Chain A
């Protein structure tokens, strides 16, 4: 209870600061919207080729874009934390009796809420482009996006807290995000891939998440793939939060 109250204080502070510079929120949306407008149409003829999963091009592509938004919208929040460490704000808050977990949670809550707002907007724009999506499916996918947001912003905060330098964080995030992106079938479905690549992608929890997201859009809420995806996303969120909490609890020399 006390932790939640403290997290809300941090959430409010962080949200105020973010909304003061809304340009970042908009910038985060520009990239997926460009993909939607300039890359999506390319997929229409492809969707008839063999190996392409069921559903029309939009139903395959938009879930991938949403996951991509979750990855890139959350992965770089650590840079903001490093700036705050440099300003002395983090230390100032750490000297208070507030729970270390709350100091993390308040930030993650802000990032996740922001992400959900962006994802909702993206879905609405996609519908205007011709996407057909059942409401239940849309809600499931937003839940998945939220869990990925929790996972990745936590991870980014943990990395920022440990590294304390933009110059060290940037290569780490690039090193991780590119293979994760390529091996998740976000841009093109992995069912198009050769056997070895497909097998490799199965080891990437994000690929299960993407599959679940696509299943949700098709209203094909078959238990197996959906459950696998939801569990993968929840697992990633739990692991991310756990690692970040441990990092926030340590001293920061």
Chain B
């Protein structure tokens, strides 16, 4: 659905050139939900704007929905939906005016556009707001209107730039359901950017991590997490800690075991299975285990390892 080759964009600014995207290659298959993850300024929006024909690449090209970005931009536009990071509504216009106008620009009849607007309003929780002016919607409602605007013409490929910013937990969960529905019911491919690791983890089939305009890692959420650190089993021991640590370290599947006070931390490949085995092992050696926990690495750990920055730090307003 997307085949990017050496896609790059350099902006000329007063203070000199800014290499926003430095020749990225990637592939998105039809029917996938792919997450594009990266700290502020990494190049996510710039990449999406190139793929949606709003910016021309300074180098490289891409095949998007079967059409060459440079040779057939109109062909690309016909098939994609794009939801910008910063919103896309005139505060004076009503919800339905916006929805219907946008759909008609894609060649839909007024009748079909009105029907589709009603369906999307219901699905995105804006049921009775058709006549409300966009400027009088709450921030989250307006964000859902932005999203509906990108979906009016039932695109085969949808670009969502931070779709869930400004949504409350309920709306976010609702949006996830809707995005999965796009893939499952409308057979759409979804390419979204997000700062939320839980969102990428829960929603995406595959993740691309971008930093400083280059893709630093890609894979399924599980693959990425596994590549980082394995999982950690923490055992609180009553009795001989040193003996417990040595026993644990000798067990198959344990990469590393450390003792701190009366706590043994074991790094293992598969946490849940190892936890059981370690319990039995220590039980057999008459060492009492007072508490046990298994920690799975989060995408935040992945992110930290890949970019040397925690996404939360990068995201913090005014953070350094």
CB A247 to nearest CB in B, in angstroms, measures 15
A219 CB → nearest B CB, Å: 44
A14 smallest CB distance to B (angstroms): 10
Chain B interface residues (CB < 8 Å from chain A): 11, 52-56, 74, 77-78, 80, 82, 84, 86-93, 97, 101-102, 104-107, 149
Q: Is there contact, CB below 8 Å, between B55 and A9?
A: no
Nearest neighbor of B12 in chain A, beta-carbon distance: A253
Contact mask for chain A residues 14-28; partner B; CB cutoff 8 A; 1 contact, 0 none? 001100110000000
Q: B56 contacts A251, CB within 8 Å? A: yes
Q: Is A98 an interface residue when CB atoms closer than 8 A count as contact?
A: yes
Complex Cα spacing A94 to B87, Å: 14
- The residue among A10, A12, A87 with the most chain B CB atoms within 10 A of its own CB is A87
Q: Which residues of A contact B88 (CB under 8 A)?
A: 87-89, 91-92
Q: Cα distance A89–B145 when bound, in Å?
A: 13
The answer to whether A96 and B54 touch (CB under 8 A), given A87-B90, A89-B90, is no
B54 engages A97 (CB within 8 Å): no
Inter-chain contact B89/A89, CB cutoff 8 Å: yes
Name the residue in B74, B102, B105 with the highest tally of chain A Cβ atoms < 10 Å from its Cβ.
B105
Contact B91 A96 (CB under 8 A): no
Count A/B pairs, Cβ under 8 Å: 67
Complex Cα distance, B53 from A20, in Å, reads 33
Q: Report chain B residues within 8 Å CB of A89.
A: 88-90
In whole angstroms, what is the CA distance A92 to B97 when docked? Answer: 14
A6 is an interface residue with CB less than 8 A from chain B: yes
| Bound: A91/B105 CA distance, A | 13
A95 on the interface (CB 8 Å rule)?
yes
Interface residues contributed by chain A, number (CB under 8 Å): 24
Given A92-B84, A95-B53, A253-B11, the answer on whether A17 and B90 have CB atoms closer than 8 Å is yes
- 21 sampled A-B residue pairs with Cβ under 8 A: A9-B101, A9-B105, A13-B97, A87-B89, A87-B90, A87-B91, A88-B88, A89-B89, A89-B90, A91-B88, A92-B88, A92-B102, A95-B77, A96-B102, A96-B105, A97-B106, A98-B105, A251-B55, A252-B54, A253-B11, A253-B55
- Contact between A16 and B97, CB atoms less than 8 A apart: yes
A93 located at the interface, meaning its Cβ lies under 8 Å from any Cβ of chain B in the complex: yes
**B100 to chain A: closest CB distance in Å?**
9
Complex interface: chain B residues within 8 A of A94 (CB): 54
Which residues of the partner chain B approach A251 to less than 8 Å between Cβ atoms? 54-56
B86 and A88 contacting across the interface, CB-CB below 8 Å? yes
Interface centre among B56, B91, B107 (most CB of A within 10 A): B107
Q: Which residue of B lies closest to A17 (CB)?
A: B92
Q: How far is the CB of B29 from chain A (nearest CB, A)?
A: 23
Describe A's contact surface by its main secondary structure.
Answer: helix
Docked CA distance A20–B94 (Å): 11
CB distance A97 to B101 under 8 Å? Answer: no
**Chain B residues in 8 Å Cβ range of A17:** 90, 92-93
Query: Are A6 and B105 also in contact (CB < 8 A) when A92-B88, A92-B149, A96-B77 are?
Result: yes
CA distance A87 to B145 in the complex (A): 13
**Contacts A97-B105, A251-B55 known; 6 new A-B pairs at CB < 8 A:** A88-B89, A89-B90, A95-B54, A96-B102, A97-B77, A253-B55
Contacts of A92 in B (CB 8 A): 82, 84, 88-89, 102, 149
A87 to B77, CA, bound (A): 21
With CB as the reference atom, state the residue of chain B lying closest to A252.
B54
In the complex, the answer to whether A9 meets B78 with C-beta atoms within 8 Å is no
Report the nearest B residue to A253, measured CB to CB: B55
Mark A83-106 against chain B: 1 for CB-CB distance below 8 A, else 0: 010011101111111100000000
Give residues 25-74 of A contacting B (CB, 8 Å).
Answer: none
Min C-beta distance of B148 to chain A, whole Å: 12
Residue from the set A17, A92, A252 with the largest chain B CB neighbour count within 10 Å: A92
What's the least CB distance linking B179 to chain A, in Å? Answer: 19
Is the pair A9, B97 in contact by a Cβ cutoff of 8 Å?
A: no
Residues of A near B104 (CB, < 8 A) are 9
Q: Count chain A CB atoms within 10 A of each CB in B84, B89, B92 and give the residue with the most.
A: B92
- Nearest residue, chain A, Cβ from B83: A92
Contact between B87 and A87, CB atoms less than 8 A apart: yes
A93–B152 alpha-carbon span in the complex (Å):
13
CA–CA, A165 and B86, complex, Å: 17
Report the Cα distance A13→B90, complex, angstroms.
11
**Are B54 and A93 closer than 8 Å at their CB atoms?**
no
Which residues of B are found within 8 Å of A93, using beta-carbon distances?
Answer: 102, 105
